[in-house]
Amino acid sequence: MVNVLIRTTRAKIEHKMEDVIDKANAKLPEDEKDVGWCFWTLSIKPKKEKIKKVLFTDGKTVFAEGKFYGTATDDDKPCIEFSALKRVNYPQPKKAPTRGFTYVED
């Protein structure tokens, strides 16, 4: 199994965080609640078939992760789909590219 490592800022994914989604859902009627299904647009579609998690890093620290669900297309651009993100804090396992993504072993 592998994970996808993406570099971004915390501000760009804050709305995808599990606690933020839960807080917003608390204010909505049951039939309008967000299920916490998130996506991230990429320049190329991941080719690895056994992806376990999506990890987000600021270039030094992995600060969020979510369960990988699959790939899709959004406005003709490839994207990955994943669960609402959990806040974490650990050193990134591999140097992350400034654009795109890289694979890291689980």
According to the model, what pLDDT value does residue 66 have? 96
According to the model, what pLDDT value does residue 34 have? 64
Distance CA 102, CA 17 (A): 21
- Taking CA atoms, 82 is separated from 8, 27, 29, 71, in Å, by 16, 23, 24, 9
pLDDT tens across 1-33, in order? 899 999 999 999 999 999 988 887 787 787 776
Buried b (16+ CB within 10 A) or exposed e, 4-36: bbbbeeeeebeebbbebbeeeeeeeeeeeeeeb
**Which of the two residues, 94 and 47, has the higher pLDDT score?**
94
According to the model, what pLDDT value does residue 33 have? 65
Instruction: Please give the torsion angle defined by the CA atoms of residues 53, 58, 60 and 65, in that order, rounded to the nearest 10 degrees.
Output: -20
pLDDT tens across 28-61, in order? 787 776 666 788 998 888 877 789 999 999 999 9
Domain ranges of the chain: 2-27+36-105
What's the pTM value of the predicted model, to 2 decimals? 0.88
- Taking the CB of residue 37, how many other CB atoms lie within 10 A of it? 13
- 67: pLDDT strictly greater than 80: yes
According to the model, what pLDDT value does residue 43 have? 84
Instruction: List all residues 6 or more positions away from 52 whose beta carbon is below 8 Å from its beta carbon.
Output: 1, 2, 3, 67, 68, 106
